[in-house]
């Protein structure tokens, strides 16, 4: 059975190009949208397997919207197809259980291969979302250069903070309650003497937290 995909991008030419590429490979395009507000009516009235979207649509944060949309439509997946190659976006995509993150500078065949991986239910070996999941679940070794002693969980929280993830996204990523996240964040800020999350992110980078490296060929 063909995949049913809705395309969203505030650039109409991009939407049309994606839609054309999908149809050329026998993938059904059920919607060509340029406004995020039009998505829910499509999902309410059509069977949909996946959404292909930019990370921001007319200034709206798609990942933030996706947190609620995915609860209402758990069988729909999200593939982000973006110009902006920001590791924070990829980390947030991972935390929000996005299927994949594809850069627009990559050949369109990469997007089509990603769709095929979704149809099989198996992420690609070079999946950027998988890379980000591994990074976020990792923690620093006892021989890390951090001067301030943090627990294993606090180190994981600091890694998430270094990439600007929200408490809700950290909760999703680590599968812990929102209240537990808030407690850990406060402990981290206190231990490293950071006034806020931005200061914590700067502290992390200066004190040996390795960056999230993305190899998008």
Domains of the chain: 4-132 (3.40.50.2300), 139-206 (1.10.10.10)
pLDDT at res. 69: 96
77-82 β-sheet, strand order: 28-33, 4-8, 50-53, 77-82, 100-103
Cα(9)–Cα(5) distance, rounded to whole angstroms? 13
pLDDT at res. 138: 79
18-31 in b/e form (b: 16+ CB < 10 A) is: bbebbeeeebbbbb
| Model confidence band, residue 61 (pLDDT cutoffs 50, 70, 90) | very high
Cα distance from N-terminal residue to C-terminal residue, the chain = 30
Residues 100-136 have pLDDT tens digits of 999 999 999 999 999 999 999 999 999 999 999 999 9
| pLDDT mean across residues, the chain | 92
Q: Looking at the chain, how many residues does it have?
A: 217
Instruction: Enumerate helices (H) and strands (E) in the chain, giving the number of each.
Output: 10, 7
Q: What is the DSSP string of 29-75?
A: EEEEES-GGGHHHHHHHS--SEEEE-SEETTEEHHHHHHHHHHH-TT
Q: What are phi and psi of 115, to 5 degrees?
A: -60, -40
CA dihedral sign of residues 138, 141, 146, 152:
positive
What's the whole-number mean pLDDT along residues 197-214? 89
Cβ neighbours, 10 Å, residue 142: 6
pLDDT at res. 215: 72
**∠ CA 120-126-132, rounded to 5°:** 105
DSSP reduced 3-state for 121: coil
pLDDT of residue 162 exceeding 80: yes
Structure tokens at 158: 């600091």
pLDDT of residue 40 exceeding 80: yes
pLDDT of residue 210 exceeding 60: yes
Structure tokens at 163: 């990439």
* Sequence-ordered strand ranges (E) for the chain: 4-8, 28-33, 50-53, 56-57, 60-61, 77-82, 100-103
**Whole-number percent of the chain with pLDDT over 90:** 83
DSSP reduced 3-state for 12: helix
């Amino acid at each position: 059975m063909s995949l049913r995909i809705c395309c969203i991008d505030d650039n109409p030419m991009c939407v049309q190009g994606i839609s054309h590429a999908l149809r050329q490979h026998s993938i059904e395009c059920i919607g060509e949208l340029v406004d995020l507000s039009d998505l829910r009516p499509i999902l309410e009235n059509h069977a949909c397997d996946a959404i292909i979207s930019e990370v921001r649509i007319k200034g709206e944060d798609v990942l933030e919207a996706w947190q609620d949309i995915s609860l209402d439509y758990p069988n729909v997946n999200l593939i982000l197809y973006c110009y902006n190659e920001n590791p924070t976006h990829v980390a947030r995509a991972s935390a929000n259980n996005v299927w994949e993150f594809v850069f627009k500078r990559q050949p369109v065949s990469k997007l089509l291969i990603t769709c095929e991986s979704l149809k099989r239910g198996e992420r690609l070996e070079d999946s950027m979302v998988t890379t980000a999941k591994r990074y976020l679940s990792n923690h620093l070794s006892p021989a890390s250069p951090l001067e301030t002693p943090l627990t294993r969980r606090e180190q994981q929280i600091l890694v998430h903070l270094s990439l600007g993830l929200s408490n809700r996204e950290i909760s999703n990523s680590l599968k812990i309650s929102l209240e537990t996240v808030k407690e850990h964040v406060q402990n981290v800020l206190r231990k490293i003497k950071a006034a806020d999350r931005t200061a914590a992110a700067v502290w992390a980078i200066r004190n040996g937290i390795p960056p999230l490296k993305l190899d998008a060929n």
